Structure 1
Amino acid sequence: MKHVYTAVMPIRWGDMDAMGHVNNTVYFQYLEQARIEWFASLGRGGKDPKGQGPVIINAHMTFLKQLRYPGTIECRLYAGQLGRTSFETRMEVVRTDMPGVVWAEGGAKVVWCDYAVEKAVPVPEEIRTIVEA
């Protein structure tokens, strides 16, 4: 897997649950935010209902340590395992004040889709080039 993007974001007070740590569902939002920022950096941000773009067909996360407010995290996004219409992404979550410690890791399978007909289409060449490099 190739490192393609790093998103930096704060741990927000509202990210925590009644147990006093970041809720497990929020990690998926971190993954989503990093992925969306990466696509936007490639000029593939936003959604044109008649256009093409990414659809997530599965997502997974392993929680290694409990994140707590306050803090800032880096979501390191990796891409690889390129197919004709899809590729895998993987993410590591680290706190910026503890850069060597991975707090969570996960990923998602991205399928490139024609939104109007709801069918998979080939991954665009510019994304294919980045993932293959």
Structure 2
Amino acid sequence: MSEKKLVHVMRQAIRWGDMDVLGHVNNTVYFRYMESGRISFLEEAAGEFNMQGEGPVIVTAYCTFIKQLKYPGEIEVRTYAGAPGRSSFEVTHEISLVDAEGKADVVYAEGGGKVVWIDFKKEKSVPLPEHLKAILPA
């Protein structure tokens, strides 16, 4: 993604159940963290989704694990969006641990995916809503 725009920031606690037997956050949970950030951004930008209407699906997802997250702790998920296409756009996320001073400067994982806007009943892509396109980078 050539140009991206910070569109959402959220914080959440690392839960005890996020850990695996090795004592660090399980790799699958990072995708949940990114999903939470992405859905929170999309609900703020486009409203709640009606499964009888239109909304987002994710068609690709990836994550690079840089450092281990462990319980207890708090993370910050920063969500960035790329320029819109007809019915899709790229999102990327940075997951950082919040330190004792409340800063989240060190990235522990980064990832993203492609969001496609669809008609849920028809299971076909449709053009992105104009109000969503308006907040994405040109």
Tell me whether the two structures share a fold, i.e. TM-score over 0.5: yes
Superimposed CA distance per residue, residues 89-114 of structure 1 (whole angstroms, 9 cap, x where no aligned partner): 00000111152210000001000000
Any unmatched runs of 5+ in structure 2?
none
Distance 1:80 1:130 in 2: 10
Q: 1:64 aligns with which of 60, 63, 66?
A: 66
* Residue matched to 2:50: 48
The answer for the alignment partner of 1:28 in structure 2 is 31
Question: What's the counterpart of residue 77 of structure 1?
Answer: 79
Aligned equivalents of 2:45 and 2:61: distance in 1? Answer: 22
Identity %: 52
Match 2:89 to one of 76, 87, 90: 87
Q: TM-score, normalised by structure 2?
A: 0.91
Amino acid at match of 2:85: G
Q: Contact between 1:44 and 1:53, CA under 8 Å: does it hold in 2?
A: no
Residue of structure 2 in register with 1:7 after alignment: 10
Aligned length: 132
TM-score, normalising length: structure 1:
0.95
Matched to 2:90, the amino acid is: E
In structure 1, the gaps of 5 or more residues are none
In the superposition, relative to structure 1, how do residues 43 and 109 fare at CA in structure 2: closer, same or farther (>3 Å)?
closer
